[in-house]
Structure 1
Amino acid sequence: MKTTIRDSLAKKKRLWLFSLVATCLPALVVAAQTPQPTPVSMAIVGGLLLCFVILGVAGQVFLRCPRCTRTIDPQFRLSHFNPINYCPYCGVSIDEPLHR
């Protein structure tokens, strides 16, 4: 069974969402564990939240059509509510096999 473009984009989307959650959880744990905020704990939380923002922005560029290499808009990220079937730029079906 060949991997489709949809499968490839879904895998990248899951990786991106996992990295967002994996970055946010330690910040929440550190913030919840410290009753009195110290400069070190605040620096850790701030650094992790900065990584969260960077990953969020990187997610805008991360999902690209493998054929035309243009960024697929938030349409694919909201695909559970309004599924897309083609790239909005080049028109390739995302159910076609992914050629590597």
Structure 2
Amino acid sequence: MKIRELLQQKKRRFTYTAVAAAIIGVLAFQASFLLDVQWILAAGLIAFVVAGIAVFGSKYGVRCPRCNGNIGSGHNNFSARPLIARPLANCPFCGIRLDELAAA
């Protein structure tokens, strides 16, 4: 697996977790107001905390496997099809090419 694919996989995992937790939180808040049950409100708050942690992980948890430099949100264009900016080719900290194979 290439380093770029590994970084995309990490970023995708954090994003899906944040979106799912936010949806669960919204549904829990809706249910708590309809059913007037307090533990569902607490579950919604926990879901929003999980969503916040996932967003934080997306920003600070995507790191270069070689130098452990943070290439999370500031340098998040890992795709091969950029919209505006060119895709990130190298790690800005150690210079390793993102299209090299990751160490197993």
Length-normalised TM-score, structure 2: 0.79
Deviation at 1:36, TM superposition (A): 6.4
Q: Deviations over 1:44-79 (max 9, x none)?
A: 211111111122112223211011111114244344
Aligned residues: 98
* Contact 1:75/1:84, CA 8 A, preserved across alignment: no
What letter corresponds to residue 96 of structure 2 in structure 1?
V
Partner of 2:21: 23
Which sits farther off after the overlay, 4-13 or 54-63?
Answer: 54-63
* Contact 2:25/2:44, CA 8 A, preserved across alignment: yes
Partner of 1:65: 64
Partner of 1:13: 11
Unaligned runs of 5+ in 2: none
Structure 2 residue aligned with 1:4, among 2, 5, 27? 2
Percentage identity across aligned positions? 23
Which sits farther off after the overlay, 71-80 or 39-48?
Answer: 71-80
Structure 1 residue aligned with 2:96, among 78, 92, 98? 92
Deviation at 1:37, TM superposition (A): 5.2
What letter corresponds to residue 49 of structure 2 in structure 1?
L
Partner of 2:76: 77
C-alpha RMSD over aligned residues: 2.0
